[in-house]
Amino acid sequence: MSTLRGPGDAELLNVTIEQWAKGWQLESAPPQIEHQPETDATGNSHWLIRLRGDEKDVITVWLTLRQRTVYFETEVISAPEENLVELYRYLLVKNFSIRGVQLAIGPEAGIYLVASVPLGQVDADVLDELLGAVLASVDEIFPTAMSLGHASHYRRRPRNR
């Protein structure tokens, strides 16, 4: 199988991620970034970005450099155990209004936010827009999703504002 990806794309994306991180403007802790320099079995490169959230303490975003795209993925909540009909209805309604990312059910039934951007369009501004959308969406969706999907285990923290 041939790849359209150039040999320097992983290094270029790594520099772009570092540029984005230097421009982090939020008052919260700066993002933590890990890069796996070796590709996986499919030839994809991976980055792990940890952001500090308001509702969910740590939001972990996987970036994957695929053949023609950069794929974003973060788990909003683990596989729900309760109130599935109400939870999925809530998520479908939310999916209609969020921009830049989409809600999805992951391989182990967890609820994820995902996005995919053509490789040639990824720059620090696009990273900022998408990671900002992830942060805002998780903080908006997390408490209600947890209250529905894990009702017997989750109690929302009081806000200190």
pLDDT tens string 132-159: 999 999 999 999 999 999 999 988 765 5
Q: At residue 126, does pLDDT exceed 90?
A: yes
Q: How far, in Å, CA of 113 to CA of 134, rounded?
A: 7
* Overall average pLDDT of the 58-78 stretch: 96
**What percent of the chain has pLDDT above 70?**
90
Triad 19, 23, 76: Cα angle to 5°: 90
The DSSP letter of residue 54 is S
82 burial (CB, 10 Å; 0-12 / 13-18 / 19+) is: middle
The H or E element containing residue 88 is helix 84-97
Instruction: Please report the pLDDT score of residue 156 as a whole number.
Output: 76
In the 8-state DSSP scheme, what is residue 73? E
pLDDT tens sequence across 78-114: 999 999 999 999 999 999 999 999 999 998 999 999 9
Contact 62, 73 (CB under 8 A): yes
64-71 average pLDDT score? 94
The distance from CA 143 to its chain's CA centroid, rounded to whole angstroms, is 17
Q: Which residue has the tokens 């921009």?
A: 99
- CATH 3.30.1460.10 correct for 9-149: yes
Domain ranges of the chain: 9-149
Of 1, 23, 3, the closest CA to residue 127 belongs to 23
The whole-number average pLDDT for the span 3-16 is 78
Strands, E assignment, 15-148: 32-36, 45-52, 58-65, 69-77, 102-105, 111-118
Biggest distance spanned by C-alpha atoms of the chain: 54
